[in-house]
Structure 1
């Protein structure tokens, strides 16, 4: 999504010029987004993905009796870091059925800012090595 890249670049320009809030060191998001994202995540995602995005089951790689996969951890210990920002947004919007899960879509329930903030929150749980691997894979 080119819009996201333009937004990220615009944010970088604001930070460099001294306007706006600074991003978390080495990351695309601000601390305000992480703080807002925690609230959004706790209200909409934690029931399935855990309060700290740690997941609720250790066997998230194995389909359940109904054939659907359980919600994976989003804290960097599973595969979320393999997915670009655009793919993460698409999954939030459309849900997880297309990739073998049961997650509902939140396209009409959450604002774009809230969706981005939720990603900022769970990515804030990633250590720097995982975050850099995500960037190297074309995360943004």
Structure 2
């Protein structure tokens, strides 16, 4: 009985070792599944303001008549890449009021994995050069 249990255990351990987690996209922190989920999350929660392609508002540096900033591009053409992942997630959770914007917080509406997926989606729009600059600035710290 002990020998059979040992063989079964060795088989199970061997089989589970064969399954690898989904590979990261182009050396980035996220997977294709996260991008796919993030696209849905982004389109349903963010695109109305930031645009379906995360292109933001053309005049994102100029304040609106109410003194607030319009939604910036998140596609790598503005300043989002200056912020580490932790900061991007905090902005998704808490909103953009502390930065002079009007974005609401999504901490009670989106799960952690949905928040990260939305970030993965817009970061997937970043060129390799922008992503590398983000990494060089400590983006994953």
**Fold-level similarity (TM above 0.5):** yes
Residue 5 of structure 1 is matched in structure 2 by none
Aligned residue pairs total 123
Q: Which segments of structure 1 move beyond 4 Å, counting only runs of 4 or more?
A: none
Residue 37, structure 1, aligned to residue 29, structure 2: no
RMSD of aligned residue pairs (Cα, Å): 1.0
CA distance change for structure 1 residues 25 and 18 in 2, over 3 Å: closer, same or farther?
farther
CA distance in 2, matches of 1:38, 1:58: 21
CA distance in 1, matches of 2:58, 2:48: 15
Compute the displacement of 1:33 (Å): 0.2
TM-score normalised by the chain length of structure 1? 0.86
Gaps of 5+ in 1: 1-16
CA distance in 1, matches of 2:47, 2:114: 15
Residue 7 of structure 1 is matched in structure 2 by none
Residue 95 of structure 2 is matched in structure 1 by 95
Residue 23 of structure 2 is matched in structure 1 by 22
Compute the displacement of 1:18 (Å): 5.7
Compute the displacement of 1:19 (Å): 1.4
Deviations 1:61-85 (A, max 9, x none): 0111111000001000000000000
TM-score normalised by the chain length of structure 2? 0.85
Higher gyration radius (CA):
2
Residue 122 of structure 1 is matched in structure 2 by 122
